[in-house]
């Protein structure tokens, strides 16, 4: 699933932390309080590493 604009806009508070991601390393973390944070990651030699925002 691609992390599209529509998917991000439809993300709702569920009372639990959860994450929405796509196959290209982009993720949206939604907290129980309703905060959200995007995370970009890349793979180097098959080892995931986080990129700074």
In a domain, 27, yes or no: yes
Alpha helices by DSSP H, listed for 1-53, are 5-9
**What's the structural domain count of the chain?**
1
Q: What pLDDT sits at residue 36?
A: 85
DSSP 51: P
In a domain, 51, yes or no: no
**Boundaries of domain holding 33:** 5-42
Q: What pLDDT sits at residue 17?
A: 92
pLDDT, tens digit, 9 for 90 and up, residues 1-53: 678 889 888 989 999 999 888 888 888 899 999 888 888 776 555 555 555 55
Could you identify the residue written with the tokens 């929405």? Answer: 20
Distance between first and last Cα of the chain: 22
Beta partners for residue 29, in sequence order: 19, 37
Global pTM reads: 0.65
């Amino acid at each position: 699933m691609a992390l599209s604009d529509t998917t991000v806009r439809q993300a709702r508070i569920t009372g639990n932390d959860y994450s929405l991601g796509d196959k290209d390393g982009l993720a949206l973390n939604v907290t129980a309080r309703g905060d959200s944070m995007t995370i970009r990651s890349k793979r180097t030699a098959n080892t995931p590493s986080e990129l700074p925002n």
